[in-house]
Structure 1
Amino acid sequence: MLERELIQNRGVRNVVEDGAVTGFQFRLRMPNYRGLWASLIEGVDVEVGDLRWDRDIPLWTLQGRRFTLAELRVSRDVRWQLDEAATITVPHPGGLAPGVHDLRVGIALRAPYIPAEFQPSVFPAARKVTILP
């Protein structure tokens, strides 16, 4: 079940690959009123405290598959469904320290029916999240 907030409380954690902490993850709810083809995703800007990642850096997991932003842009068979949380993975060696962090995002999406000069629409969200030890 999805929470009302765009940044979901469940799923915030550091990512461990081959015994090393390589980054952190969190989940986002679709901010639009309906699902969207993944090729219309323009990325997500991420800020945690004083740290910042531009929208082309985080990786996206949709429908159980992980994508770079470049891969999403050329995809033809992937949708971000209204009832599906996207898992965002931010590469950051060592991850985040255990404790409470201020997480801010700007989810950038395009809509095929809005003129290009008014694109993308950016959906901001902020939430305190906790990394457990």
Structure 2
Amino acid sequence: MFENYILTEGSCKNVSKDGKIIGYQMQTQITYYRGIPCSMIHEVKVAADGVEVPREKILFSPDGEDFFTLDELETVTSYKWEFGEKATVFVEQEGGLAPGEHEITLTTSIRTAYIPVPVGGFKTRKVVIA
């Protein structure tokens, strides 16, 4: 039901810092009807052109400003990922994605207090990097 929220169309782009491309990012929305503390994010996975990104290369930001590793997210209770708000998933990758078309798959899942298994899904989109 929420699959189209997982990878926001048109949001995938390379990220530059000090004139160098340091990685790429995309936006996502929660696959649930209400917000949760970031500590309840169960899983975030990214695959680019069929190759899964190592967990330690993925950062998550509920607000587009403060980024956390996936290990740090387990203890982040002071930030919430709210329904309807776009969070940012950043992948550390020197040079980012090469110009052209790529197939990106983003997987997210969350835990809730009263559902015994994580809730989530994945979305694959073709993206074009200029």
Contact 1:43 1:55 in 2 (8 A): no
Q: Over aligned residue pairs, what C-alpha RMSD do you find?
A: 1.8
Residue 66 of structure 1 pairs with residue 67 of structure 2:
yes
Deviation at 1:54, TM superposition (A): 4.1
Residue aligning to 2:103: 102
Amino acid paired to 1:52: E
Q: Report the Cα offset of residue 56 of structure 1.
A: 5.0
Q: Does the C-alpha gap of structure 1 residues 62 and 31 become closer, same or farther in structure 2, counting only changes over 3 Å?
A: same
Q: Secondary structure at the match of 1:97?
A: coil
Q: Which has the higher contact order (CA 8 A, sep 6+)?
A: 2
The runs of at least 4 consecutive aligned structure 1 residues that moved more than 3 Å come to 54-57
The whole-number CA distance in structure 1 between the counterparts of 2:78 and 2:41 is 13
* TM-score of the superposed pair, with normalisation by structure 1: 0.83
Aligned length: 126
- Secondary structure of 1:39 counterpart: helix
* Matched letter for residue 105 of structure 1: L
Q: Residue 107 of structure 1 contacts residue 123 of structure 1 at CA under 8 Å; is this kept in 2?
A: yes
Instruction: Name the % identity.
Output: 33
Distance 1:91 1:43 in 2: 17
Contact kept, 8 Å, 1:44 with 1:54, in 2: the verdict is: no
The answer as to 2:9 corresponding to 1:13 is no
Native 8 Å contact 1:61 1:88 kept in 2:
yes
What pairs up with 1:1-133 in 2 under 5 angstroms? Answer: 4-63=4-63, 64-115=65-116, 118=117, 120-132=118-130
**Deviation digits for residues 96-118 of structure 1, max 9, x if unmatched?**
01112111121121112123xx3
